[in-house]
C-alpha cells in the first residue's frame, strides 16, 4: 500500500470516525431528551388517570350515597320481605347512571342486582367482611356479570334500620369510555388490560375504541407486570413503528392485580429524528471523505513527491549509480532526509573509490604474490640446473656435455613451464568479448563431455548428462561457453580424487536456460563458497586460482548468473542461468 493510499485512508477514517462520534453523541443526547420528554408525558398521563380515577370514584361514592339515602333503599331496608324488591336495583342503577348496583341484605344475600338480576339470593361475602364501609372511597373490583367478568370502580355504603342492614354496592365499569375520557398528546395512547382471568386474554386489552387487534403482542409486558407487580417498561415493534409502553399495575381492594394500564408512546418522532441525523452525518462524512481525498492528494503532493524522489535515488544507488543525489527542497524532515541521503551517497562514492583503490592494491599484491609463487617454482630448478652446469664445467669437465644436455633440457622444460604460466595470466588479462551466436546448449554439453570422456574415465568418474529436450537455443559464444563447461568439469574432476559421479544437467527456463554441473566430491565450506570466484583464490594445491574467476567473467559477459551450492563431504553444484 502506497503512502498516498495510506494517507488517504487515514484521512477518510479520521473524518468518518469524527462524524460518527458526533452523530453518536448527538443521537444519544436526542434520545435522552426524547425519553425525558416521554417520561414527563407519561407522568402527566398517569396523573391524569389518577385524577380521573379519583374523580369518578368520588362521583360513584356520591351516587351510591344518594341511592342509600333514597326512599326505595329505606323501604328495602325496612321491609321484611326482600323478594318484593328483586327488580329495584336495575331501576335505581338506571336512574343514577350506574353500570353496577347491588342491594345486599345484612347477611350478604343479594336482594337485587342490576348487573346480574338472576343472582338474587346469592351471598356476597366480601361485603359482610368489611366493618366500616362508610369511610371507604371507591376501589377497583372484579365484578361477575352474566357474560363474563368486568373491571369496575365500586363504592359501598350501608343503610341500617333497627337490627336490619342493607349494603348498597354500586359502581361503573372501567371500559373504553373511561379511556376515551383521557386527553392524550399526539403520538401517545392508553390501553387497559383487565386482568380478570389467570391466563392472558387478548380480548381484555382495550383502548378508547374497544379491544385492540394486536393485543397478543403486549402479552410479555403484561405478564411481566403480573409477575413483578410494579411498573415495567418495554418497546414493541421496530423502526418508525416502534412504540414504548409504560405498564402500570392497577390493584384492587385486596391488593390484587386487577388491571394493567399501558401508556404507549410512539417512537416515530425519535426514529425520524435519528434518521435525519444519520442522513446528515452520512452527508457530512461523504463530504469530509471527499475533502480528505483532495487534502490527501495535496498533502501527498507535498510529502510523497520528495519521498518518491528519495526512493528513486535509492533505486539508482542500488542499481550501481552510487553518485545519485536528491534535490533538497525545504528544511523540514524530508529536506533533512534528502540532505542525509546526499551525504550518504557522497560518502558511498568516496568509500567505493577508496575500496577500489585498496582492492586494486590488494590485487596487485596478490598478483605479485602469485606471480612470485608461480615463477619461484620453475626458477628454482633453473637456478639449480645452471649451478649444476657451472659446477660440472668447473669440477667435471668430462661430464659437462652430458650435464649440459640434461641441464638445457631441464631449462627448456622449465622455461616452457614459465611460458605457460605467463600465457595463462595473459589469457586472463586479455579476456576477449564474446562472439554471440545461437547455440544449442545440449549439443555443446555433449561435445564437451566427449572431449573430457577419457579424462573422466581415467579418474574413475562416472559421467551423467541430463539434458532437457525442451531446451531452446541461447545466444552465446560457443567457444567461451565450452571453456566454462570444461573448466567446471575439470574442477569437478579435481574435487573427486577418489572418483564419483559427475552430472551435467540442462534445464529449460521460461526466460532462458540453466546449466548445472554437480559432483559428488569433497564439497566446500560456506566461506569457501563465498570466495570461490575471487581471482587467484584456489582450494587446490596446484592451479592459478583463475579458473572460476574466468568462468564468472564469461558468464557475466553473457549477462548470465552463476551460483554455487555445496555441502561439505557431499559435493558441489555450479548453476549457470543464461538469458
**Minimum distance between the CB of residue 50 and other proteins, rounded to whole angstroms?**
36
Residue closer to other proteins by CB (options 199, 511) is: 199
CB 219 within 8 A of CB 203: no
User: Is residue 83 within the footprint of other proteins (CB under 8 A)?
Assistant: yes
**Minimum distance between the CB of residue 72 and other proteins, rounded to whole angstroms?**
14
The position carrying cell 415495567 is: 232
What residues have CB less than 8 Å from 10, skipping those under 6 apart?
Answer: none
Residue closer to other proteins by CB (options 145, 348) is: 145
Cβ neighbours of 92 (radius 10 Å): 24
**Minimum distance between the CB of residue 84 and other proteins, rounded to whole angstroms?**
6
Burial-class residue 25 by CB neighbours within 10 Å (0-12, 13-18, 19+).
Answer: exposed
In the region spanning residues 87 to 126, those forming contacts with other proteins, defined by CB under 8 A, are 87, 116-122
User: Is residue 84 within the footprint of other proteins (CB under 8 A)?
Assistant: yes
**Minimum distance between the CB of residue 114 and other proteins, rounded to whole angstroms?**
13
Residue closer to other proteins by CB (options 84, 447) is: 84
Selected range binding other proteins among 83-91, 184-192, 284-292, 307-315, rule: CB under 8 A: 83-91
Number of residues that bind other proteins (CB under 8 A): 12
At residue 161, the 3 state secondary structure works out as strand
User: Is residue 213 within the footprint of other proteins (CB under 8 A)?
Assistant: no
In the region spanning residues 133 to 172, those forming contacts with other proteins, defined by CB under 8 A, are 146
Residue closer to other proteins by CB (options 116, 428) is: 116
Burial-class residue 509 by CB neighbours within 10 Å (0-12, 13-18, 19+).
Answer: middle
In the region spanning residues 15 to 74, those forming contacts with other proteins, defined by CB under 8 A, are none
Total residues found in the chain within this entry: 579
CB 291 within 8 A of CB 15: yes
**What would the x/- binding string for other proteins be over residues 337 to 376, using CB under 8 A?**
----------------------------------------
Residue closer to other proteins by CB (options 144, 567) is: 144
What residues have CB less than 8 Å from 466, skipping those under 6 apart?
Answer: 503, 504, 505, 506
Residue closer to other proteins by CB (options 113, 503) is: 113
Cβ neighbours of 69 (radius 10 Å): 12
CB 93 within 8 A of CB 170: yes
Residue closer to other proteins by CB (options 77, 546) is: 77
Cβ neighbours of 442 (radius 10 Å): 17
Q: Take residue 460 and report the three cell numbers written for it.
A: 574413475
CA angle, residues 470, 474, 476, in degrees to nearest 5? 150
Q: How far is CA 447 from the centre of its chain?
A: 61
**Minimum distance between the CB of residue 99 and other proteins, rounded to whole angstroms?**
18
**Minimum distance between the CB of residue 143 and other proteins, rounded to whole angstroms?**
15
Residue closer to other proteins by CB (options 169, 218) is: 169
Which residues make up the interface to other proteins (CB under 8 A)? 83-84, 86-87, 116-122, 146
Amino acid at each position: 500500500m502506497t503512502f498516498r493510499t495510506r494517507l488517504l485512508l487515514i484521512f477518510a477514517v479520521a473524518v468518518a470516525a469524527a462524524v460518527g462520534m458526533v452523530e453518536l453523541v448527538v443521537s444519544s443526547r436526542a434520545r435522552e431528551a426524547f425519553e425525558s420528554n416521554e417520561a414527563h408525558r407519561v407522568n402527566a398521563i398517569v396523573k391524569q388517570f389518577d385524577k380521573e380515577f379519583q374523580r369518578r370514584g368520588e362521583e360513584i361514592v356520591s351516587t351510591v350515597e344518594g341511592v342509600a339515602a333514597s326512599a326505595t333503599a329505606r323501604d328495602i331496608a325496612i321491609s321484611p320481605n326482600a323478594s318484593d324488591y328483586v327488580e329495584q336495583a336495575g331501576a335505581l342503577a338506571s336512574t343514577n347512571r350506574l353500570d353496577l348496583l347491588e342491594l345486599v341484605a345484612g347477611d350478604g344475600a343479594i336482594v337485587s342486582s342490576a348487573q346480574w338480576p338472576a343472582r338474587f339470593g346469592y351471598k356476597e361475602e366480601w361485603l359482610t367482611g368489611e366493618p366500616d364501609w362508610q369511610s371507604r372511597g371507591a376501589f377497583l373490583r372484579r365484578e361477575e356479570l352474566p357474560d363474563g367478568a368486568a373491571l369496575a370502580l365500586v363504592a359501598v355504603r350501608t343503610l341500617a334500620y333497627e337490627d336490619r342492614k342493607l349494603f348498597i354496592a354500586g359502581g361503573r365499569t372501567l371500559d373504553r369510555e373511561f379511556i376515551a375520557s383521557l386527553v392524550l398528546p399526539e403520538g401517545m395512547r392508553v390501553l387497559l388490560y383487565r386482568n380478570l382471568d389467570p391466563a392472558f386474554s387478548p380480548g381484555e386489552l382495550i383502548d378508547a375504541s374497544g379491544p385492540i387487534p394486536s393485543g397478543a403482542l403486549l402479552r410479555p409486558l403484561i405478564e411481566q407486570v403480573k409477575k413483578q407487580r410494579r411498573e415495567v417498561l418495554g418497546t414493541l415493534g421496530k423502526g418508525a413503528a416502534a412504540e414504548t409502553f409504560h405498564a402500570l399495575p392497577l390493584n384492587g381492594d385486596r391488593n390484587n392485580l386487577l388491571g394493567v394500564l399501558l401508556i404507549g408512546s410512539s417512537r416515530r418522532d425519535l426514529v425520524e429524528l435519528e434518521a435525519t441525523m444519520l442522513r446528515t452525518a452520512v452527508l457530512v462524512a461523504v463530504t469530509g471523505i471527499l475533502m480528505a481525498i483532495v487534502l490527501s492528494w495535496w498533502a501527498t503532493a507535498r510529502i510523497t513527491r520528495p519521498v518518491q524522489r528519495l526512493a528513486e535515488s535509492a533505486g539508482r544507488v542500488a542499481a550501481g549509480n552510487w553518485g545519485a543525489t536528491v534535490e533538497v527542497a525545504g528544511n523540514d524532515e524530508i529536506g533533512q532526509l534528502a540532505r542525509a541521503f546526499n551525504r550518504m551517497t557522497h560518502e558511498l562514492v568516496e568509500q567505493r573509490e577508496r575500496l577500489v583503490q585498496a582492492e586494486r592494491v590488494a590485487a596487485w599484491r596478490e598478483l605479485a604474490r602469485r606471480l612470485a609463487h608461480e615463477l619461484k617454482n620453475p626458477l628454482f630448478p633453473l637456478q639449480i640446473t645452471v649451478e649444476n652446469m657451472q659446477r660440472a664445467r668447473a669440477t667435471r669437465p668430462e661430464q659437462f656435455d652430458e650435464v649440459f644436455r640434461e641441464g638445457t633440457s631441464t631449462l627448456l622444460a622449465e622455461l616452457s613451464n614459465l611460458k605457460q604460466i605467463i600465457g595463462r595470466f595473459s589469457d586472463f588479462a586479455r579476456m576477449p568479448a564474446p562472439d554471440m551466436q545461437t547455440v544449442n546448449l545440449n549439443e555443446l554439453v555433449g561435445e564437451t563431455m566427449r572431449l573430457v570422456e577419457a579424462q573422466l574415465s581415467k579418474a574413475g568418474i562416472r559421467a551423467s548428462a541430463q539434458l532437457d529436450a525442451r531446451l531452446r537455443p541461447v545466444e552465446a559464444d560457443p567457444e567461451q561457453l565450452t571453456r566454462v563447461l570444461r573448466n567446471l568439469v575439470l574442477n569437478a574432476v579435481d574435487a573427486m580424487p577418489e572418483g564419483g559421479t559427475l552430472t551435467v544437467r540442462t534445464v529449460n527456463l521460461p526466460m532462458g536456460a540453466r546449466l548445472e554441473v554437480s559432483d559428488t566430491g569433497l564439497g566446500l565450506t560456506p566461506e569457501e563458497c563465498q570466495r570461490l570466484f575471487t581471482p587467484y583464490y584456489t582450494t587446490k594445491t596446484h592451479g592459478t586460482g583463475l579458473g572460476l574467476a574466468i568462468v564468472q567473467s564469461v558468464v557475466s559477459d553473457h549477462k548470465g548468473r552463476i551460483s554455487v551450492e555445496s555441502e561439505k563431504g557431499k559435493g558441489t553444484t555450479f548453476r549457470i542461468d543464461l538469458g
